[in-house]
Amino acid sequence: MVGQNGTTPCADLEADLVLLHYGDLDDNARARLQSHSANCAGCSAYLTELAALLPLTVTTDAPPQEFWMDYNRELRHKIDAALESKSGWRSLTAIFTPRYVPVFATAAVVVLALTITFGNRLWSGKQGASDDELSQALPVAENLEFFRAMDVLENLDLLKVMGDGIKDAA
């Protein structure tokens, strides 16, 4: 606390000196600190510096009267808008109130049951084969074609043999 060289304040009093500058100390503390500062060059210089510096940091703004009229009008609109939006939300959320839950649940069950019952019938006819089924069926179909072609060839051979037999007979 003591022994400052005149350029720096007493370290343990610095925070209180800030409050002294702002006038935010009780009477006893203020009297004690003022008495100390009167005899301490460091603390005295610190107070002088605060008095010069801190007022520079205060930024004031004094809007005209019209500003406050606009301010109030705008704020009222914002409050109304908040009420309106909440009112909209309320009507939307009102349908999810507990008393409607059984109705929605019943409707959902009915829709599900109808979908399962009629859906299979309607879709089974329209539904095409899946890709796997197609990939399995296609080679078989190709084989069938091959065997059919073979049958035709065999038939041709048969006709030829028969034709030869008739010729021989003639």
Partner 1 sequence: MACLAPAEELEIFRRPLHSDASTRVSAKGRASQLAHSGDEELVALAQQGDRRAFEELIERHEQKAYHIAFGFARDREEAKDLSQEAFLKAFSYLKKFDGRSSFYTWFYRIVVNVCLDYKRRAKRTAAGEFDETIESQMEPSHNPARPLAPEQHVLAGQLSRKVAVALQALPAKQRTAFILKNNQGMSVREIAETMETAEGTVKVHLHRAVTALRQSLAELA
In the complex, the residues that contact partner 1 under the rule CB under 8 A are 14-15, 18-19, 22, 24, 49-50, 52-63, 67-68, 71-72, 74-76, 78-79, 82-83, 85-87, 89-90, 93
Nearest to partner 1 of 52, 140 (CB atom): 52
CA distance 40 to 46: 10
Note whether 20 and 32 are within 8 A (CB). no
Q: Which residue's CB is nearer to partner 1, number 56 or number 170?
A: 56
* Nearest distance in Å: CB 26, partner 1: 11
Question: Of 57 and 127, which CB lies nearer to partner 1 in the complex structure?
Answer: 57
The Cα 71–Cα 65 span in angstroms is: 10
Which CB, 67 or 118, lies closer to partner 1? 67
- How many Cα neighbours within 13 Å face the side chain of 16? 19
Considering the complex, what minimum distance in angstroms separates the CB of residue 75 from partner 1? 5
Tokens representing 53 are 């510096």
